[in-house]
Amino acid sequence: MRQRYTYVILLLLFASLESCKKEKVEDAIEPNDPVFLVEGTLGTEMFSAVAGDNNFYMSTFTQTVQNVSLFSGKLSDGNTEVELGIFDGDIDLPDELWADNLPDDLHFAGIPQQPVFQLSKQVFPNSNYIDQIKWYVNGQFVGLNTMTIHEPGRYMVCAEVSFVSGNEGIVCNDVIVGYQKNASSIMRHFVSPGGDLQVWLEELDVPVASVKWYMDDNFVSDEIKLIDEIGDEMHVVKAVVTYANGVVRTKKVLLDGTACGGYLDDFSIFENSQSAYFRDYAITLTIRKNGVEYTSMNVPNNGADFHILDRVRYEENSSGNPVLKIEAEIDCMLKNNTTGELVPFSGTMQFGIEVD
């Protein structure tokens, strides 16, 4: 009888062991292609940075350089970094067009060797009636009678004018230099001896859709041509101009009702003729490796190549802003900021940049 119980116990134990036996499940094969990477040759050394490998992490952000957006991304492990920026372009057009207008072949940004914008008292037709002009750029005094801007950007330029008559006034204009403009016009005016005023726009390269006129910041008309009356004191006439292609620009002129030369023209018109250098959609590339920074700025990269092979809207970044993922081929020169040596860089990238 005891042997029979032993036999039953052994059978139950065997059955229990069989019920606990696990089937081996093969791991699912997931595609593991890196989303963001940079691979190439820096000088004579191979270079590689892959998001997700060896603590490399892709971050995206927007910087501002002279009031122009530099849409940027950085692939970094804390020691080795690749930072790419693309300057905004067509900056007088709405921002939402930026990614759509981005060309496939981009040039590298540099530092212009000549000033991109200069103004002096002598460029105005009524300069004999002007005693002096104090020039301010973004709120900073930059010169008496003459001013110079060296770097592309969008600036608020103000003129504090003293006339020979003793009248004084201040007028400010938005000035875009070193970037393409998609619409332009000249603001003209006429003041009769009795103070009858006419202000209009001419030499248009794009039709005007609408104009809003302001006198000393007070709205006065939305006609294409302003007709009004002014007194002998100084006034600022402002036109907010919307062009047919979507460009919106604000233009101002300083004048009085004496018809005796006491005015200062809209000096933003000079932005159209002075700069042969354009930074629209220009690239900046910086690599930091082993404590050394290599940068594309201040490098003669006229023959360099940055060709976009593909672009796609990616998911939003941690700030909630959209990211554009680009795949590109690169062939350029970078400057070793420690030694000043120029080092070639050639490679490919899949990179993210913030676009808003």
Encode 73-119 in three state secondary structure. Answer: EEEECCCCEEEEEEECCCCCCCHHHHHHHCCCEECECCCCCCCCEEE
Q: Tell me what pLDDT residue 25 has.
A: 35
Percentage of the chain lying above the pLDDT 90 cut: 70
Answer whether residue 249 shows pLDDT above 50.
yes
Q: What is the mean pLDDT of the chain?
A: 87
Q: Tell me what pLDDT residue 11 has.
A: 36
* Residue 20's pLDDT band (cuts 50, 70, 90): very low
Nearest CA to 262 out of 128, 136, 118 is that of 128
Task: Please name the residue that has the structure tokens 């390269």.
Answer: 205
Q: Are 173 and 161 in contact (CB under 8 A)?
A: no
- Of 76-90, 147-161, 257-271, minimum mean pLDDT range: 257-271
Q: Are 356 and 95 in contact (CB under 8 A)?
A: yes
Q: Tell me what pLDDT residue 260 has.
A: 82
Answer whether residue 27 shows pLDDT above 70.
no
Task: Please name the residue that has the structure tokens 């000249």.
Answer: 186
Report the alpha-carbon distance of residue 48 to residue 173 in Å, rounded.
Answer: 47
Q: Tell me what pLDDT residue 111 has.
A: 85
pTM (2 decimals)? 0.86
DSSP of 249-302: EEEEEEE-TT-SS-EE--GGGGHHHH-----TT-EEEEEEETTEEEESTTS--T
More confident residue, 83 or 270: 83
Q: Tell me what pLDDT residue 9 has.
A: 34
CB within 8 Å of 173: residues ≥ 6 apart: 156, 157, 158, 250, 251, 252, 266, 267, 268
Nearest CA to 294 out of 329, 323, 327, 330 is that of 330
Q: Tell me what pLDDT residue 12 has.
A: 37
* Residue 275's pLDDT band (cuts 50, 70, 90): low
* Residue 6's pLDDT band (cuts 50, 70, 90): very low
Answer whether residue 24 shows pLDDT above 70.
no
pLDDT tens for residues 85-127?
Answer: 999 999 998 776 777 788 999 999 988 888 889 999 999 999 9
Helix (H) or strand (E) holding 12: helix 2-19
Provide the strand spans (E) within 128-194: 130-137, 140-144, 146-149, 153-163, 168-177, 186-191
Answer whether residue 5 shows pLDDT above 90.
no
Nearest CA to 354 out of 73, 82, 12 is that of 73
* Residue 221's pLDDT band (cuts 50, 70, 90): very high
Average pLDDT on 320-343 reads: 95
Answer whether residue 14 shows pLDDT above 70.
no
Helix (H, G, I), strand (E, B) or coil at 304: coil
* Residue 194's pLDDT band (cuts 50, 70, 90): confident
Answer whether residue 19 shows pLDDT above 80.
no
Report the alpha-carbon distance of residue 26 to residue 206 in Å, rounded.
Answer: 66
Answer whether residue 231 shows pLDDT above 90.
no
Q: Tell me what pLDDT residue 287 has.
A: 97
- Of 5-19, 166-180, 335-349, minimum mean pLDDT range: 5-19
CATH number of 117-274: 2.60.40.10
Average pLDDT on 152-164 reads: 96
pLDDT tens for residues 309-326?
Answer: 999 988 889 889 899 999
Encoding tokens for residue 123?
A: 């460029």
Average pLDDT on 237-247 reads: 95
| CATH 2.60.40.10, the chain: domain bounds | 117-274
pLDDT tens for residues 55-90?
Answer: 999 999 999 999 999 999 999 999 999 999 999 999
